[in-house]
């Protein structure tokens, strides 16, 4: 499922439900309670509309906004929005290969919210190790800049540092399609680089006021 949240008045929220929408009103009530509990504050908006299936259209300001579900990708309810009158399409957060098309992402994807979630030394050390990893590609604050967990818990001023690391499935799977078979040889080749990152960060911890 996927919801849009914002603090702007006049907006409404659409939730695509793909698994348990048959429960109707009970589901809507449960989702609203979960959203409010997990994201307290004025910036959280519960859904006004819940839909299911492959297509749902709504009218806003005299224009039709088409909602298209193209299959499982990063989440269970990722949606493509199309405004035919403007010849505009909006796609967000579609990141799993062989489901909805997109350019192949690097092997190591490091996110620090542009350096806000950890000390600079941590980002530098992580980036250096990934850059030296032969046969692998990497990027920093590219496709993944640090998700909610990274941004929420990464408080370097309080000696709490967080880094998001997203690995391309090709680094540990035989292929990126069902049944998504785990590739032991690939994983064994990848593991030393991840170990090096953790070892380097553990060595940095005392100088950053972090207890191991």
Q: What is the pLDDT, as a whole number, of residue 183?
A: 95
Task: Return the structure tokens found at 131.
Answer: 């850059």
> Where along the chain do its domains lie?
14-91, 108-208
Give the pLDDT score at 3: 38
Local confidence band at 53 (pLDDT 50, 70, 90 cut-offs):
confident
* Helix intervals (H) in 19-134: 25-38, 120-132
Q: What residues are paired with 173 via a beta bridge? A: 182
Report phi then psi at 206, rounded to 5: -60, -35
Question: What is the reported pLDDT for 52?
Answer: 79
21 versus 178: the higher-pLDDT residue is: 178
pLDDT at 90: 85
Whether residue 175 has pLDDT greater than 60: yes
Q: Look over the chain and give the mean of its residue pLDDT values, rounded to a whole number.
A: 78
Pairing of strands 63-68, 55-60: antiparallel
Lowest mean pLDDT segment, chosen from 77-81, 135-139, 183-187: 77-81
**CATH architecture under which domain 108-208 falls:** 3-Layer(aba) Sandwich (3.40)
In the structure, what pLDDT confidence band is assigned to residue 59 with cuts at 50, 70 and 90?
confident
Give the angle 170-173-174 at the CA atoms, nearest 5°. 100
C-alpha to C-alpha distance for 161 and 108, rounded to whole angstroms: 19
């Amino acid at each position: 499922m996927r919801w849009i949240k914002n603090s702007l008045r006049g907006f409404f929220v659409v939730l695509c439900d793909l698994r348990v929408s048959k429960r109707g009103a009970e589901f809507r009530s449960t989702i609203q309670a979960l959203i409010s509990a997990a994201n307290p504050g004025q910036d959280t908006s519960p859904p006004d509309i819940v839909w299911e299936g492959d297509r749902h259209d709504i009218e806003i300001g005299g224009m039709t906004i088409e909602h298209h579900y193209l299959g499982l990708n990063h989440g269970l309810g990722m949606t493509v929005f199309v405004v035919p009158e403007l010849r505009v399409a909006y796609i967000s957060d579609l990141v799993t290969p062989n489901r909805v098309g997109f350019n192949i992402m690097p092997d190591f994807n490091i996110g620090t919210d542009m350096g806000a979630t950890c000390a600079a030394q941590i980002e530098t050390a992580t980036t250096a190790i990934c850059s030296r990893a032969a046969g692998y590609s990497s990027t920093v604050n590219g496709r993944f800049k640090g998700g909610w967990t990274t941004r929420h818990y990464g408080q370097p001023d309080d000696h709490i540092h967080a880094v998001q690391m997203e690995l391309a499935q090709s680094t540990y799977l035989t292929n990126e399609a069902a049944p998504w078979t785990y590739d032991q040889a690939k994983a064994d080749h990848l593991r030393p680089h991840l170990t090096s990152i953790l070892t380097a960060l553990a060595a940095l911890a005392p100088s950053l006021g972090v207890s191991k």
